[in-house]
A and B are shown apart, each in its own frame.
Chain A
Amino acid sequence: MRFKVKHVTRYEYPAQVLQAINLGYLIPRNSARQKCIYNQLKVNPQPTTSATRVDYFGNQAFHFTIESEHQSLEVVTTSEVDVSAGVDLPSVNDSNTCMQARELLSSSNQLDSLLAREYILASPSVAHDAALAEFAAPLFADDRPFLQSVSELNSQIFNEFTFDPTFSGISTPISEVFAHRKGVCQDFAHLAIACLRSLGYPARYVSGYLETLPPPGTVKLVGSDATHAWFAVYSPGEGWYEFDPTNNSIPAEQHIITAWGRDYTDVTPLKGVVFGGGSGHSLSVSVDVNRV
C-alpha cells in the first residue's frame, strides 16, 4: 500500500524567538516492511542551517536551526511511503517459549541477539518496575509461546485501559498511567515496554502514523489523522515483531513507521531549544494519511 503523509507542526510564541535549535524525527525510515520513496521537509521561516543524518538507531534525524527573529515556526513534512504487512507471527507450536526466549537471550552470541539486549535495560522514560512485572507475569509462564504471550499482553492493555487524551501529558510517568488505567498511545506503548523489560524481554518504542478511515458513508476530514506510537518485541532467532496496544492489533499496512528507539525520548518527533519566545507557546499538529 502506498501512502502520502502530510504532517504539519506549528509553534506560536508570545514573544520573538531569537534563535531556535531543533532536532526532529519526521522522515519515515526504511524497514523490512516499508520503504520511504519520497520526503520533503519545508520549514518556515527559512532555516539557517539544516542537515539530515542517520542516527544510532538507523533513524533519519533532521537537525535545523533558525537564527532570525520569528514568532512562529512551521514544519511541514510530506512523505510517500510503501507499506506492507510484514511477516506473520510464527506458529504457536513452532516458536520460542518464554523460557527459551530468556535462555537464548543470555546465551546466544548471535549479533542480533546481543544487540537486542540493549532493549531489556531501563531507558530514560521506561524504568524497570516490579509492579508491572507482576501485572504481566501470569501471561509469561515458562512454557507458554513467547510471542503469543506478548500478543495477549497487548490485548490485556487494550481491554483494561481507557484511551483518554485528557489524562496524560508528555511527562506522565508510567506508574500513573498504570494506577489510573488511562492514557494515550504513547503511554500504552511505554507501559507494554516496561512490562516486557521488567520480565527480562527486549522491547522498543516505535513512532509513526496510523491511517484512520472515516465512518462508512462520511468523508474523511483534513488533519484528522494523528501521530501514533506502538512497540516492537524481540524473540531470539525469530526477530522483531510489532504490536499496537492502543488498537489491539498487529501493525500492518496502516501503520507507517517514522523512527524507533528505546523510548519516546530517543525519537521525539520535534524538540529543541529556543532563546526568547516568552512563556506559554502554543502548538498545533495536523496529520493527513491518504492512500495514493
Chain B
Amino acid sequence: MSQLKQRFQQYAAQHSPSDEAISADGSVKPDWRYMLDSLATLGDDELAERQHKAKRILRDDGATYNRYEQNTRSQTWGLDLLPLLISADSWSVIEAGLQERADLFNLIFKDLYGKRELISLGLLPPELVFGNQSFIRACDGLQLPGENQLIIHGVDMLRREDGSMCVCSDRLQAPSGLGYALENRVVMSRVLPSLLRESQVHRLTSFFQVLRQKLISLAPNIASPRIVVLTPGPYSETYFEHAFLANYLGFSLVQSGDLVVGDGFVWMRTLNGLTRVDVIVRRVDELYCDPVELRADSMLGLPGLIQVARAGNVAIANPLGSGFMENPVLYRFLPKISEHFLGRQLRLKSVATWWCGEPDDLQFVLANFTDLVIKPVAPHTSNSANSYTSSNSKMVADLTDRQRAELLSAVKENPHNYVAQEKLLPSYVPTFNQQELVSRPVILRSFSVASEDSSYRVMPGGLTRVGAKQNSTAIANRFGAVSKDTWIIASEPEKHEILSSQLGVNDGYTEGAELPSRVVENLFWMGRYMERAENSLRYIRTLFMQMNGIEQLPTDCKSVLLQAATQLTSTYPGFVNNTPLQNDPDAELLSLILDRDRVGSVTYAVSSLLSCAEQLPGLLSSDSQHIINNIADQIDTLSSRLRGDFLSAPEEPLGSLISNLLALVGIVNESMIRDTGWLFVELGRRLERASQTASLVRALLFTHFDDSQESIILESLGMTVESLISYRRRFGGSLKINSMLELVLMDASNPRSVDYQLKSIVNTIYALPRERRTTELSAQLRFVMEAQSKVQLSKISQLCRTDQDANTRSELDQLCAQIHQLLGEASNAISVEYFTRVQGPLRLLQYSGSTG
C-alpha cells in the first residue's frame, strides 16, 4: 500500500464531521475514490514531482497574487494538487441557486438606478442605499444594451453542516478570480492530464465563450467591436489575472493612460494613432473611474468616461455603481426583496444577517453578542477588491474583554452602522501540506456571467481556497490561503474540448497595430535596460579582473579604469577626480552594483528592466518569464553573494547574471514574433549598445598612456565589448589602439561595433510603421544617419593622434561625444513620434464657488 493511501486512511479516521471527502461513517465518499486512488497509484515521489511541476508552471506563467500591504515582490499563486470535487447532482442544485441569485441582483441593480421601488415600497431603508458611497448618483439611468446589467457575478460560499451551501458574500463591482480559476485548470491539465480527463470533469471553455460573446454583444452596432480589459496596473493585487484573462479572451490589456476620451468616444493609443474602444471590462474600482464625475483625485480613471457611457458609445462591464450591492446589510432585506421580484425565496441562502438599525434586530444582537460576527455597514474607501472580507469584520468570541466592550458600545452608539452575522462553520477538505495530508477549511467562489439570451450561465467549477491553518477563520489570499481547482464530476463523459491558451479569434496582442503605445514604450526600454545592465556588469567585472590581477595596476591606469566606471554609468561625481575614493574603491563599486535607488547602478538597471517586463504580460513567452524570474532571484541574492570576500571572486555571481541577461536577449530574439513590438526591443538594445560603447571608448582612451599601461586599458575595452578574441584572431597578440578602434568603432562585421549597431538601427527604423510616409527622412533617421556618417568618415589615424602639448586625444573624444549625443537625440525623437502622451498633466479645475 502506498504511503499516500495509508495517510489517507489515517486522515479519514480522524476526519472532521463536515469533511467534503469523508462520509459520516469514516469511509471515503464515492465521488472522491477514483481521484484519490489514482493519486495514490502515482506514488509519493511522483506526486511531489507533480506538485513541484505545478509550482514551476505557475511561476513561469507569471501567476502571482500581489499582497499590496506588504512591500515585497509579488508572490507566486499557490495551487494544491488535490482538487475540490463536487458531484454533478449536487452541483445542479447549486447552479440553479446561483442563476437565480444573479437574476435577483440584476433586478436590484436595475431598480435602484431606475424606479427605486425598493425604497418607495419600503423594502430597503433609504439610508442603506443613499448612505452608501458606492451608490453612484451619476449612474442613475445609465444602461447597458440588453436585459442584463450585471455581466459578472461572483459568489463566495461555504458548506453548512446540513450539506447546503450558504453564501457569505456577493462580488459585483469587479469580481476577481475568474482568471485564477482558469489558470488553476490549465495547470492541472498539464500536471495531471489523464486524471483530469478520466475523472469526467466539466470543462470551462464554453463558459468563457459565453462571457466573450456577451461582451461582444454589448456593442450591438459594431461589426467587430474592440474590447479592452482596464487594469489599475502591475501593482494591483490581481494584475496577473487581468493580463491572463485579456490574453485568453483575445482582448487588449490597458491602463487608464492608454485610453483617452475624444469626440464622444473612448480611444486606445496605439502606434498607429487612436483606435476606438467599444467595451471596457473594468477591473478598476468604480469610484476611481472618472475624475470629472467621481473621485477627483483618481489617477486610475478616464476623465469623461461616464458621459461617453451615457451616450451609449462605450459599454462598461460590470457597470459602474454595482459595488454598493456588496454591502452585507443587503442580506437582511434579501428575503423580502426576493419575494417581491421573484415571488419566492432564494434557493441559495445567504448568511443570517441582522441590521442593528432595526430595533428588533438590535435587541437580538445585544442578547447574542458573543456568538456573532460584527461588520460595519459603511463601505470602504479603499481600492481593494476585498471589501467586506474578514479584515473589517470582527468575530466577537475572539475579542478580548476590552475589545468586546469597545465594540459593544460602538454598536450601541451607532447601531445603524453595524450588521451582525451568524458565525459560519466551514466544511473541510483534504489538502497537501508538503507531504502531509491535512484538513483545511474551504471556501468556494463561483461565477455567473450574463449570456446573450439574457439568462445567467454558471461556471462549472470555480475558485476554491483553503485556509492556511486548520482553524483559519479568514480564508483569503492575503491571509496566505492556497487555492485548488474545482472539479464538477459529470455523470457521463463530456465532449472533449481543448483548453487552448487563447480563446476565439486573435484580436488581442497579435498585431503590432493593436499594441497600446505604453506597451511598445516598455518594450523599447526593456531593450535599453537589458543592454545597459549587461554593459555595466561587463565593465565592472572587467575592472575586478584587472584589479585582482597578479601584478598591481599602475596608479594612473587604475585611476582611468575607475573613473570610466563612473562615466559609463553616469553616476557622477563617483571616482572622477577623487583620489581617496580611487585608493579605496570597494564601497563605491559595491554601490554601483547593488544600490537599487542609485540611477545608473546595475541593480537599478535590472529593476527597471523587470518593471518594464511587468508591463508586458502576454507578450513574453513562459520561457522568457522563467529567465526573468531567475534574474529577479539573482538580484535579490546578489548583495549577500557579494559580501565578505567579494573582492577576491566577484566574477562568478556577476558572470551568472550576465549569462541570464544574455539568455533573455537570446530568447526574446528567438521567440518574439517579428512585429512592431520586437522592432522596438531591437531598437532599444542597439541604441543603448552603440552609445555605451562610444562612452566607454571615450572614457578609456581619451588619455594617452605609455604602451604597457595602454595595453591594459585596451584589454579592458576589448574584454568589456567582447571583442578581445576577435582582436587576437585578427591582429595577433599585442594590443594597438588603431586596430582596436577599427574593430570596436568601424568594423561592420563585428556585431559589437558601433558601426554595426548604427546600421541595424537604420534598418530597424525603416521598418517602423510611421516611417516612409513621406520621402523626407524622419528626425530619428537623420540623427542616426548623421552619427553613422561621422563614424564612417573618420580616419583611424587621426582618431589615434595625440594632441599637441597634451597627452589627450581630442578628435576621438569629439567623435564619441557626438555619437552619444546624436543617439540621445534619436531616442528622444522616437519617443516623441511613438510614445509621447499627447496630453499634458491632468489637472482638476473647480469654479471657485458661490460667493454671494
Contact = CB atoms under 8 A, between A and B. Distances in A.
A213 interface: no
A271 B846 contact: yes
A133 to B, nearest CB: 14
A56 B137 contact: yes
A18 B840 contact: yes
Given A184-B851, A272-B292, 16 more contacts: A11-B845, A19-B839, A23-B292, A23-B293, A53-B310, A63-B307, A169-B849, A170-B846, A186-B850, A186-B851, A210-B852, A228-B850, A269-B847, A270-B846, A273-B304, A273-B844
A226 interface: yes
23 contacts: A15-B840, A23-B292, A48-B264, A49-B264, A51-B310, A51-B311, A56-B138, A114-B126, A115-B126, A117-B127, A118-B126, A120-B127, A121-B131, A186-B851, A227-B852, A229-B852, A246-B852, A270-B847, A271-B847, A272-B845, A273-B842, A275-B840, A281-B845
Contacts of B126: 114-115, 117-118
B291 interface: yes
A109 to B, nearest CB: 5
A277 B130 contact: no
A269 B840 CA distance: 25
A9 interface: yes
B115 to A, nearest CB: 11
Given A23-B292, A67-B263, A275-B839, A283 B849 contact: no
A193 to B, nearest CB: 14
A203 B262 CA distance: 38
A88 to B, nearest CB: 24
Contacts of A184: 849-852
Interface residues of A, number: 58
Contacts of B120: 111, 114
Contacts of B122: 109, 114
B496 interface: no
A165 B844 contact: no
B851 A274 contact: no
Contacts of B846: 170, 268, 270-271
B852 to A, nearest CB: 3
A228 B849 CA distance: 9
Closest 7 CB pairs of A and B: A228-B852, A276-B840, A275-B839, A118-B130, A273-B303, A226-B852, A21-B304
Interface in B806-852: 838-852
Contact of B839 (A18, A186, A209, A227): A18
Among B843, B844, B849, residue most surrounded by chain A Cβ atoms (within 10 Å): B849
Nearest to A207: B850
A232 interface: no
Contacts of A170: 846, 848-849
A89 interface: no
B769 to A, nearest CB: 23
Interface string B686-712: 000000000000000000000000000
A55 B848 contact: no
Interface string A1-40: 0000000010100010011011100000000000000000
A229 B850 contact: yes
Interface string A64-82: 0101000000000000000
A186 B849 contact: yes
B799 interface: no
Interface of B: 119-120, 122, 126-127, 130-131, 137-138, 140, 261-264, 291-293, 303-304, 307, 310-311, 838-852
B292 A273 contact: yes
A251 to B, nearest CB: 12
A118 B131 CA distance: 7
Contacts of A229: 850, 852
B42 to A, nearest CB: 59
Interface in A267-292: 268-277, 279, 281, 283, 285
A48 B308 CA distance: 13
Nearest to B265: A49
Nearest to B301: A273
A55 B140 contact: yes
B852 A21 contact: no
Contacts of A140: none
A177 interface: no
Contacts of B264: 48-49, 65
Nearest to B305: A21
A196 interface: no
A26 B724 CA distance: 75
Contact of A268 (B263, B304, B847): B847
Given A109-B122, A121-B127, A184-B852, A273 B307 contact: no
A23 B621 CA distance: 45
Given A111-B120, A229-B850, A271 B292 contact: yes
Contacts of B119: 114-115
Nearest to A120: B127
Contacts of B304: 21, 65, 273
A264 interface: yes
Contacts of B840: 15, 18, 275-277
A56 B140 contact: yes
Interface in A162-208: 165, 169-170, 184-186, 207
